[in-house]
Amino acid sequence: MFAIARKEAIQLVRDSRSMILAFLLPMLLILVFGFAITLDVRNIRLAVLDESMTPESRHLVDAFEESGYFSVERYLDRHGEADELLVGGRVTAVLVIPPAFAADLAAEGTARVQLLLDGSDANTATIALNYADAISHDFSSDVLPDWRTARRSISPELRVWYNETLESRNMIVPGLIAVLMSIIAAMLTSLTIAREWERGTMEQLAATPVHRVEVIVGKLMPYVGIGLVDVALATLVGVFLFDVPLRGSVSLLFAMTFLFLLGALGFGIFLSAVLKSQVLAIQASIMVTYLPAMLLSGFIYAIANMPPFLQVVSYAIPARYFITITRGIFLKGVGIETLWGSALGLAVYAVIGLGLALHAFRKELA
């Protein structure tokens, strides 16, 4: 078994493409994805049609701009310009302040304004609407007398736990580690058995007295080490470059990573043994790991918001369990007593992945 592991490690070191795939690609992807994927909406381009032209209306516009979420791009002179800017995509929102804004505010304590939003990007429009509502509430508290703002009997004080600043990178980076390991692990081992067939060395392997279990485990060992190193580097990048908090147990993180890698690497060997072609194996590994891990694991889209059928399908996606574990360890600092369900899912995945690899691999040349 250790001889097989040594042989696989030597082949891996001599193959520059595999080394790039093993070490350079994960770091490159986590940097690109970590900076590029964000759910935070800032600098929303705003146009203003101020028909009131009063200190109160200017105060409202300043409140939008000083919030840090809106950036006033231009002031409009007529209503027709709003449609032109929104259709052309030059602004995301248009704030319309009517002529009687200041008078209504002084007389009745309430005043209407209009916010036109480009709904072609529903996510940005929804978030911008929530931002505008919060800004308007704060503006009312600043402008109106205390006796008018005190009519509410309940004054909620909100506190967000685990991700206090609501930074999306704190959610993205731990999940990204799971997604990248899903892809890289399967891609790496999808080349192993296929490489033996294409290079004509399967005959030599078949002639040895090594049991197929020893072949599979021996071939897995170098890649398990590589996967653990990749997760360690990704964790360091997340903590020190992206300022993601790591509140939980590092040893638990690596124990769960080990379970996940066994399943993912075993599944890659299964594809390699079945397809016997490096090109086909690596294409298949991307298809069956990348898209499900990105779309059905809860990485970006909440599983609870998916159709019931896809929610059921997501239970078959190993990245779902690993993402729950990484986010729980990074952000919540929870232990195995909370994560045991996801840990059990990874254990089942490891058994299935290794079982498929052992079932598919044969030392016979037929």
Whether 261 is in a domain gets the answer yes
Whether 108 is in a domain gets the answer yes
3-state helix, strand, coil in the chain (%, to 5): 70, 5, 25
CB 247 within 8 A of CB 328: no
Residue 364: pLDDT over 60: yes
Whether 157 is in a domain gets the answer no
Residue 34 and residue 173: Cα distance in Å, rounded? 6
CB 183 within 8 A of CB 293: yes
Could you report the per-residue pLDDT of 250-274, keeping only the tens digit for each? 999 999 999 999 999 999 889 888 8
Residue-averaged pLDDT of the chain: 86
**Domain range holding 130?**
44-149
Q: Is 117 helix (H, G, I), strand (E, B) or coil?
A: strand
Half-sphere exposure (Cβ direction) of 47: Cα atoms closer than 13 Å: 24
Could you report the per-residue pLDDT of 121-138, keeping only the tens digit for each? 777 888 888 888 888 888
Could you report the per-residue pLDDT of 4-58, keeping only the tens digit for each? 889 888 888 888 877 887 888 888 888 888 887 777 778 899 999 999 899 888 9
Last residue of a domain, one of 116, 149, 182: 149
Whether 159 is in a domain gets the answer no
Residue 228: pLDDT over 80: yes
Residues 182 and 330 grouped into a single domain = yes
Q: How many domains does the chain have?
A: 2
The neighbouring-strand residues paired with 101 are none
Half-sphere exposure (Cβ direction) of 67: Cα atoms closer than 13 Å: 27
Sequence-distant contacts of 112-116: CB under 8 A, at least 24 apart: 113/60, 116/82, 116/86
Residue 147: pLDDT over 90: no
Residues 240 and 356 grouped into a single domain = yes
Last residue of a domain, one of 84, 114, 149: 149
pTM of the entire structure? Answer: 0.81
Mean pLDDT computed over 278-284: 84
Query: What letter does residue 301 receive in the DSSP assignment?
Result: S
- At residue 157, the pLDDT reads 62
- Going from the C-alpha of 149 to that of each of 108, 109, 144, 168, 170, the distances in angstroms are 12, 9, 7, 33, 35
Output the domain CATH number for residue 69: 3.40.1710.10
Whether 366 is in a domain gets the answer no
Residues 232 and 321 grouped into a single domain = yes
Q: Is 74 helix (H, G, I), strand (E, B) or coil?
A: strand
Between 313 and 153, name the one with better pLDDT. 313
Residue 146: pLDDT over 70: no
Could you report the per-residue pLDDT of 164-199, keeping only the tens digit for each? 877 888 888 999 998 888 888 888 888 787 777 777
Whether 158 is in a domain gets the answer no
